[in-house]
Amino acid sequence: MCRFLAIAALGAAAALAGCGRVNQSASCREFVACVRAQDAVDGVTTDATRFEPDGDCWGGPDIAELCDRSCVHGTAQLRADHSTLACAVTP
């Protein structure tokens, strides 16, 4: 019984350890979409991996919050710099 409880605790801990990751925010989903739209105009591919769903932005709540805020301002800046930019979030 004791060994079962210990193994259960280890399993729960392992599961909880993986729960630190958070989902990509809506703001960064929109930012990445706008980056891709601008890439199509410029004929380049931007390295935006950190903001994508599997990126390092989502490794924990603190960094996720920082990335989310940066995406909000980044999207606004992209639209200010490129008035014809058409990008929207695909739900």
Nearer to another protein, 16 or 88 (CB): 16
**Spatial contact of 31 and 87, defined as CB atoms under 8 Å apart:** no
Nearer to another protein, 81 or 86 (CB): 81
Kindly tell me the sign of the dihedral angle through the C-alpha atoms of 67, 68, 69, 70.
Answer: positive
Nearer to another protein, 74 or 90 (CB): 74
Q: Which residues bind another protein (CB under 8 A)?
A: 2-3, 5-7, 9-10, 12-14, 16-17, 20-21, 31, 35, 38-39, 42, 44-48, 50-51, 55-57, 59-63, 66-67, 69-71, 73-75, 77-78, 81
Give the Cα separation of 69 and 87 in Å (integer): 18
**Spatial contact of 68 and 28, defined as CB atoms under 8 Å apart:** yes
